Structure 1
Amino acid sequence: MASLQELAHQQIASLFAHNTIVTSVVDGQLYDLPCDDTVSLLINLPPRFPDEPPVITVTPTGLRHPWIDADTVMNETLRHWNHQQMNIGQIAADIRDEFAQRPPTKKDEGYGHRPPPPIPTSTTSTPNLSQTPLAMSSFTPNQEYTMIMNKTSAEVEELLSNDLPFEMFFNSLERVKGLKTVQEELMNGNENLAHKNLSREDQLAKLRTDVMNLNDEYRQEKHAFDEKERLQQEAYSRFSSSTVLTRLKASVYESDDLSESVAQSFLDGNLDHDSFVKQFRELRKVYHLRASKLEKAQTNSVFT
């Protein structure tokens, strides 16, 4: 029966087998797995791992997702951890796929929805309206009616038949004067705001240029990073499980063939007794060492 340490090594091997980019922060204890350009998983293996479940946290902190609880990833698989039926590599890959399909969001953001606009309350007031003559007046609702009732029939007839007197009467009303004051204040406020925005045009243009330059720099750095990452993966592939196992098998066959050729040379009379014993013994020693390592690796499934 495999020891706890051997089981832990198998679980760690599965982490690298199921995920392309895994960084060992602390060997045998802490590993970093990026999900995308912004989100990463920090996989912490406790001292009794795999008897104890791994602790997976997400960076940056303060993200919201159904699988994230106080920056700790917790799904059904982790809640019912059983190292005999589960492996950490597959679990990490499932979390990475879930975050790719449904990316976590910041806690002050929704899932693809903008926050609703604020609802005005009864305390919301129109700018400067409280200082207008309309708001300060003490007129009754029937003020205009009263003013008309105080006019003679001829004056009322003049208002109805002549636009100029009607316009003068209309503009003399305090309610109309108050509305015009509010209108003028709003127009002046809009004009001041427009001048303020136009004064920042040069600053905005400079910021736009800076953003374009930074974007170009990012693309160049991204291209260089991708190239280095490709070279890194090529380097890693030379030390992959299948490559190491294949080379070990080849070295076993090579040692066996060399020892057989020395034996054949001795039988053919091309080697004296002392030379044969010395060379054959060294070659068979190397052969048995390599064969033992190959058998151990295959028995313990180190490279599978």
Structure 2
Amino acid sequence: MATQLLVEYPELSYLSRQDLEDILSDPVYFQAIFHSLERVKALYQSQAELGRANESIASHNLTMQESLYALRSDTKNAFDEARSLESRWKDVEKDQREIYSRYTPQFLLMRLKHSITAQDDASEAIATAFVQQSSNNGGSGGGTPESGMDIDDFVKEFRYLRRVYHKRVIWGDKWSKGQVSWREG
């Protein structure tokens, strides 16, 4: 066993057997011999160097601490703003789809058909009102200042309303024949 000990620790080869037994029995003597070994000194030296390197790194990290906290805060604020904008983007996109849906060919055709009906109703209403006004005035049809619209004003208004009606009907007919194309873009 002593031989194996001396092979692994040649630094102890100068010690006698009695010294080796004393090392094992006396903890203070053991510590003195142990700390005098070159391997142990090198280990403590490495440990001290690592400690100084860690202190240097820690010191450097501490000098960067405030700027890192500020950067973290800025990053969090930017992230929060991005999430807010992302949420708002979904609302804007929904609004955009809703607005664009009002300009699809199908929707525009529906509006044209409704406007044709409304235009026809408006021209018929003015004609009915004029006929009733004329029959209330004794059938003269000329109109008087107190009775409302005279015949020239009626004809002008009625012709305008019917012209718009017929233009819309023509566009509806062209559409149904496939002669209207919509450019999207």
Give the TM-score range, shorter chain. 0.5 to 0.7
Higher-Rg member (1/2): 2
| Aligned counterpart in structure 1 of residue 99 of structure 2, from 206, 211, 236 | 236
Distance in 1, matches of 2:90 and 2:11, equals 86
Would you say the 8 A contact 1:252–1:290 is kept in 2?
A: yes
How far has the Cα of 1:193 moved from its partner? 1.3
**Structure 1 gaps, min length 5:** 1-140
How far has the Cα of 1:299 moved from its partner? 4.6
Aligned to 2:7: 142
C-alpha spacing 1:278/1:206, structure 2 compared with 1 (3 Å): closer
Alignment of 1:198-277 (within 5 A): 198-211=62-75, 214=78, 218=81, 222=85, 229=92, 233=96, 236=99, 239-241=102-104, 243-260=107-124, 265=130, 270=141
Q: State the structure with bigger RCO (CA 8 A, min sep 6), 1 or 2.
A: 2
1:243-272 per-position Cα deviation (integer Å, ceiling 9, x unaligned)? 533331222113323444566656965369
TM-score normalised by length of structure 2: 0.60
User: SS where residue 102 of structure 2 aligns?
Assistant: coil
How far has the Cα of 1:170 moved from its partner? 1.8
Aligned to 1:179: 43
Mean Cα deviation higher: 190-199 or 263-272:
263-272
Aligned to 2:167: 289
Would you say the 8 A contact 1:237–1:243 is kept in 2?
A: no
Distance in 1, matches of 2:65 and 2:124, equals 85
| Aligned counterpart in structure 2 of residue 157 of structure 1, from 14, 18, 21 | 21
**Structure 2 gaps, min length 5:** 1-5, 143-149
Alignment of 1:105-120 (within 5 A): none
Residue type of the alignment partner of 1:249: K
Would you say the 8 A contact 2:122–2:161 is kept in 1?
A: yes
RMSD: 4.4
Mean Cα deviation higher: 187-196 or 148-157:
148-157
1:206-258 per-position Cα deviation (integer Å, ceiling 9, x unaligned)? 33444455567x37974995698389549826834355333312221133234
Residue type of the alignment partner of 2:33: F
Would you say the 8 A contact 1:252–1:291 is kept in 2?
A: yes
Distance in 2, matches of 1:262 and 1:206, equals 73
Q: What is the percentage of aligned positions where both structures have the same residue?
A: 32
Residue type of the alignment partner of 1:297: W
More helix by share: 2
TM-score normalised by length of structure 1: 0.40
Distance in 2, matches of 1:297 and 1:250, equals 14
Distance in 1, matches of 2:157 and 2:177, equals 30
More strand by share: 1
